[in-house]
């Protein structure tokens, strides 16, 4: 799915479903970070008009996801926990090349975002297929569709703005790197844990 080289083990979904308060709180912050990341990209590259338009839309959708997940937390009588570091995302961020040139940074940032969308999408699909709570399973199914669309947007933008970089080749490098990162995870009831 989406070129990912390692599927998430079903044991992660079991862990997530049985620690729902922790999962939802972490998930809410993942959506918050996705919105923030899209807005940050706009600050870094204000001159890329089509990207600014598309990422404004992505940011709004991510914030809406945050609102929806927060609502699910509140409905259950729980509260949003404290935001915690996302080690998986921080490891992926190290693969983004800085200081070479503007194009390299742009393309790597777009592929970094696409990578997180792809993995999140894969995990949402797994939750949609395994969670017993039908309403929650349907919610994750809808989010899976939305994140797949975001993945497509980031890849499309990378291809649009790349002039010297072979995006397909760089994406393959991202996929291989992501495999080496994600194989250390899958043991925590967090979205990328």
Other beta carbons less than 10 A from residue 101's beta carbon = 10
Helix H or strand E encompassing 193: none
Cβ atoms of 171 and 155 within 8 Å: the answer is: yes
Closest approach, Cβ 142 to Fe ion, in A, equals 10
Cβ atoms of 140 and 13 within 8 Å: the answer is: no
Cβ atoms of 48 and 154 within 8 Å: the answer is: no
The one segment of 8-16, 28-36, 169-177, 179-187 that binds Fe ion by CB under 5 A: 28-36
Other beta carbons less than 10 A from residue 84's beta carbon = 13
Considering the rule CB under 5 A, would residue 86 count as an interface residue with Fe ion? no
Considering the rule CB under 5 A, would residue 150 count as an interface residue with Fe ion? yes
Considering the rule CB under 5 A, would residue 65 count as an interface residue with Fe ion? yes
Number of residues that bind Fe ion (CB under 5 A): 7
Considering the rule CB under 5 A, would residue 147 count as an interface residue with Fe ion? yes
The one segment of 11-19, 110-118, 130-138, 185-193 that binds Fe ion by CB under 5 A: 110-118
Binding site for Fe ion (CB under 5 A): 31, 34, 62, 65, 117, 147, 150
């Amino acid at each position: 799915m989406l070129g990912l080289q390692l599927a998430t083990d079903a044991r992660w979904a079991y862990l997530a479903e049985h620690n729902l308060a922790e999962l939802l709180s972490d998930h809410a912050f993942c959506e918050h970070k996705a919105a923030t990341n899209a807005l940050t990209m706009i600050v870094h590259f204000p001159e890329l008009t089509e990207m600014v338009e598309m990422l404004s839309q992505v940011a709004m959708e991510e914030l809406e996801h945050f609102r929806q997940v927060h609502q699910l937390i509140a409905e259950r009588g729980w509260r949003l926990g404290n935001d915690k570091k996302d080690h998986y995302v921080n490891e992926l961020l190290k693969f983004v090349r800085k200081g070479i040139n503007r194009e390299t940074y742009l393309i790597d940032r777009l592929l970094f975002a696409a990578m997180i969308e792809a993995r999140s999408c894969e995990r949402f699909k797994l939750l949609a297929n395994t969670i017993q709570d039908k309403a929650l399973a349907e919610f994750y199914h809808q989010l899976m569709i939305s994140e797949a669309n975001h993945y497509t947007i980031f890849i499309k933008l990378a291809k649009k703005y790349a002039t010297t970089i072979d995006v397909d080749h760089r994406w393959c490098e991202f996929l291989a790197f992501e495999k080496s990162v994600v194989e250390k995870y899958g043991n925590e009831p967090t979205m990328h844990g």
